[in-house]
Structure 1
């Protein structure tokens, strides 16, 4: 007897997105840790994204709660991991993320840094590099926290510079401290502490160690399978290509991770094969109609490689930069319908690229914009990666 493959249509995927990404108002969370767990990891390349993405999903949006999780309780850990991108993940999940993706990336970062320093900085060899790293860690341990400049004051070798891309229009002079500290952080020896400025600042103090250093890390194959299950629970159904793109794994490792889970193949509306957990095959009840204003690099907007089911391909040139980074987006019931920005005077402005949802959607978006403005207050947010629509709206 033949069994037909389960089907999950686009409407069902959008319902799951609204619920599991905590975007519908009746699905929002009380604490930042719940948000990070729900989306698996918050993009952290742009410091503002962590706060904006978390607060969009909190019942009571408050950047102080995000700072509590990051810097006081240390229940969120910043890791260089999936796709060589910085994420903030829950401390309990951090060993899984480190083993499945972070350790391999850290090894590549170290190899690249060694070549970069030894080839570009006269008088450096592996012994000197090891000594500088040891002195840096000792200085940080003695201080408890320090900026890169403060560490360089105690370890003068960190001040040495290398000219990058000499003779090119984008030639730059870079301190060796930037690469050394990045590698030490990727390996878990140090971590980014509280920034010197507000929550939009990228000028971090460094602190020793990581919150997950003493937790057992599973072997890489087990960690990849565990991360795949977590990913499908929040983002399923997803394709093998979606998982490969998001993790940065090879196709072989991705397929092995999927095979180690109990994922079920399902048919999607475009005829492609998706993967879902076996307890996620039945229809999911739709939440109340919802709108959301999400920041650039939001984990939901960047959650899948194939995005046509929630993003009109005609809108991509307005909402993405040339490197494929998405800017601030406006959502309605599981679809991106526009973009938003903050002007210099603090006003939150937006533009809808489609009239889907009509007046109901417009009113809901206006309410979300007011909600965002109410907690952002006097803070001014400029995305690290500017997109055409964001630039237009903010000018």
Structure 2
């Protein structure tokens, strides 16, 4: 490609983020489906994250819980399933075939091989036995529509059988066939998470048969997933793309070439955007604030985060495993964090005051009130707690 690469600076990256991540007021969405489509994937490891991430981006968040539940469990226009980096996400249902072929197949092969190896080491039944149990369990799930592992075991008692894992090692444990098998079936794209047991904040789920989808070529699926993600999150570096997808660098480069991605210059070095997307975003001058939940897809979207998150804030905002906690944003950068106290009060603290004034603090407070308004009496505690969140929650 001839000519000098266009430089995209921090200010422009933050403007893109505001519009494409549905965070600026004028860019907010009408439905959970619009939010998920714009972001490609919503982190689903913590069930509350899905609802909080959607609510932060809706023009009218008053019906966040009802509308997100509708999309997930009635219309099935969104689906919770394993995806990139062996992590649970919520995707638009139309994207499930792409996710499965681009990221799920390789993980699924490793997971099934590991299960069979662990069972063989423990002297448990062989692959033929496991296949029988699997087919019986899937048939029972299809009859029931949705079910917990315990409910499926009523129909297929062999799911209750146990085997010793890592015998003789300090992390030795006992695994139940149902736990490991359902996990394998999840990454294989045969089952997905259904309705939770309890409220929308519950981490205990029923299972459901996965929606049917065509089998796609892996390379084509990788190209499509990368194209969608770059359209939402570009520019991004190779390191960002490798981290987000969990692919090998050769796969990332192959997908970049397949979609004709355009290289641009960033402070970190070479970045990439989709073909024809190297120009500046639509002009807007609306200042904006946002309170995003732990594991929000924007806060977790890139491996190289200095352009929106100052390094000195990281010890306060992340747990030891690299999971981000609830964040406070002002005009495209993380400036602090928030938490909910036992009585339901939303509290927040700014850690980076650079460029913030009275208007910024007022805007953040309005977002806190907006969040309080639709949460009502519901208490939400992040699954992965961070130093700042724990401090604020304790009061």
| Shorter-normalised TM range | over 0.9
Partner of 1:200: 201
**After TM superposition, which residue ranges in structure 1, 4 or more long, deviate above 6 angstroms?**
none
How many angstroms apart in 2 are the aligned matches of 1:94 and 1:84? 14
Q: Within 2, Cα distance between the matches of 1:238 and 1:302?
A: 13
2:343 to 342, 345, 348: 345
Distance in 1 separating the partners of 2:286 and 2:224: 32
How big is each residue's C-alpha offset from its partner over 1:136-160, in whole Å with a ceiling of 9 and x where there is no partner?
Answer: 1122222222111111222222222
Aligned to 1:12: 12
Using a 3 Å threshold, how does the CA distance of structure 1 residues 156 and 310 change in structure 2: closer, same or farther?
same
Q: Any conservation in 2 of the 1:321–1:327 contact (CA below 8 Å)? A: yes
How large is the RMSD of aligned CA atoms in angstroms?
Answer: 1.8
> How far apart are the structure 2 equivalents of 1:51 and 1:171?
36
Specify every segment of 5 or more residues in structure 2 that has no aligned partner in the other structure, as ranges. Answer: none
The CA distance in 1 between the partners of 2:329 and 2:179, in whole Å, is 37
Conserved? CA contact 1:329–1:336, under 8 Å:
yes
Aligned to 1:82: 84
**Of 211, 232, 247, the match for 1:234:** 232
* Mapping 1:57-96, distance limit 5 Å: 57-61=57-61, 62-96=64-98
Q: Is the 8 A contact 1:80 1:105 kept in 2?
A: no
Q: Deviations over 1:237-267 (max 9, x none)?
A: 1011111110000001111110111211111
The number of equivalent residue pairs is 390
Cα distance in 2 for partners of 1:113, 1:164 equals: 10
Asked if the contact 1:30–1:60 (Cα under 8 Å) also holds between the matched residues in 2, the reply is yes
Alignment of 1:127-146 (within 5 A): 127-146=128-147
Post-superposition shift, 1:168? 6.7
Provide Cα deviations, 1:154-188, integer angstroms capped at 9, x if missing partner.
22222223444567776544322111111112222
The separation in 2 between residues aligned to 1:348 and 1:163, in whole angstroms, is 45
Residues 306, 90 of structure 1: CA spacing in aligned structure 2 closer, same or farther, 3 A cutoff? same
Aligned-partner Cα distance in 2 for 1:349–1:170: 39
Match of 1:335 among 330, 333, 336: 333
CA distance in 2, matches of 1:169, 1:366: 48
Counterparts of 1:358 and 1:164, CA distance in 2: 56
- d(CA) in 1 for partners of 2:379 and 2:190? 33
| Aligned pairs for 1:262-281 within 5 A | 262-270=260-268, 272-281=269-278
Q: Deviations over 1:91-126 (max 9, x none)?
A: 112211111111222222211222223323x44211
SS of residue in 2 equivalent to 1:93: helix
After TM superposition, give the deviation of residue 366 of structure 1 in Å.
Answer: 0.7
Change over 3 Å in CA distance of 1:174–1:384 after alignment to 2: farther
Q: Taking structure 1 as the reference length, what is the TM-score of the superposition?
A: 0.94
Superposed counterparts of 1:263-302, under 5 Å? 263-270=261-268, 272-284=269-281, 285-302=283-300
Normalised to the residue count of structure 2, the TM-score between the two structures is 0.94
Contact 2:81-2:193 within 8 A present in 1 as well: no
Equivalence for 2:105: 103
Does the 8 Å contact 1:15/1:334 carry over to 2? Answer: yes
Question: Aligned-pair distance for 1:216?
Answer: 2.8
Within 2, Cα distance between the matches of 1:2 and 1:19?
29
